[in-house]
Amino acid sequence: MSSQPIVLAACPLCGGSQARELAVYPELTWVRCECSLIYKRSEQPDPAAAEFYESGYFGAGDQGRRYTQRTRRRIQKSRNQILDLLNHVEPGPLLDIGCSVGYTLRAARELGLAPTGSDLSQYAIQACRDQGFRAERGELSQLPFAEGEFGLVTMKHVLEHTADPRAAVREVRRVLRPGGGVFIAIPHAGYRKAVAAPQASRYYLPSAHGREHFVYYTPQTLTRLLEQEGFRVVAVNPQLLHRRASLLRRAGECLLAPLRAVAQRLADGLQVRKEFWLVAVRTETPPVS
């Protein structure tokens, strides 16, 4: 055991403390629980942490006058993700947690949904407000919104950033109305390179994502967490057909579906997915604990 201050004394999924070291650096230590969840057990304080989520995090390239191809691609990806959610949930007000500079909010507006954003960064909030969106600064464990205010929540590359994912998931459930749903995109702990050589993986290295991330999930571990907190997982991975897409698009999707199905099975088999997508619906049953 190292002398690093403890970040997570127990597994945030099963509560157990039987975990094996997975990747150990002078700055921090990653472990893998018996239940297969991967989390950061200990870490030296990071002098750069306080400024992490301010302007530098978002890059300067997509701001202001520049409307780049990349921006368009990001909005399109967000649109696909919202359509995945709308396969299972009725349209309604949408909250994007970790809204950054508003790609998902723009996609939601294009789809005719009323979007709201939240983020830790004042810079991000201001960027969204400048585009006419409602956006509020807020912690994952204490979202600044009323109970049942939203029908849809999107949370992309957010949940891996908290050491208390259970609190975050409970907050999502609180702000969702009954029958509402959440879309989650998150790094895949089963990604081939991270599994084969954890010590050299960008997932764990302090110089890459090791500082900013706390937990790595597979569809199985994330499903377990969500089910314990009053959600039912209804889809994993990008969906092939979207019932709320335009007619033209649905025709294209029908044609491409068999090919895309094969591509997805290959990606799973070869473990080349760096992220996975998941849709979960809020159940009537309250959390078990």
33 touching Zn ion, by CB under 5 A: yes
Out of 5, 6, 16, 54, which residue is the one contacting Zn ion (CB under 5 A)?
Answer: 16
11 touching Zn ion, by CB under 5 A: yes
φ/ψ region of 157 (left if φ > 0, alpha if ψ in -120 to 50, else beta) reads left
d(CA 242, CA 240): 7
Give the three-class secondary structure for 198: helix
37 touching Zn ion, by CB under 5 A: yes
163 touching Zn ion, by CB under 5 A: no
Out of 2, 25, 35, 163, which residue is the one contacting Zn ion (CB under 5 A)?
Answer: 35
Which residues does 145 contact at the CB level (< 8 Å), separation at least 6?
A: 95, 116, 118, 136, 138, 175
217 neighbors 190 (Cβ within 8 angstroms): no
13 touching Zn ion, by CB under 5 A: yes
CB of 104 to Zn ion, least distance (A): 31
Of 25-33, 59-67, 124-132, 254-262: span binding Zn ion (CB under 5 A): 25-33
14 touching Zn ion, by CB under 5 A: yes
CB of 215 to Zn ion, least distance (A): 10
97 neighbors 140 (Cβ within 8 angstroms): yes
Which one, 12 or 230, has the nearer CB to Zn ion? 12
> x/- site string to Zn ion, residues 165 to 204, per CB under 5 A?
----------------------------------------
Strand ranges (E), the chain? 19-24, 28-33, 38-43, 94-97, 115-119, 134-137, 150-156, 176-187, 215-216, 231-236, 275-282
Residue type (1 letter), 147: E
Which one, 34 or 90, has the nearer CB to Zn ion? 34
CB of 276 to Zn ion, least distance (A): 19
CB of 153 to Zn ion, least distance (A): 25
Interface residue list for Zn ion (CB under 5 A) = 11, 13-14, 16, 33, 35, 37
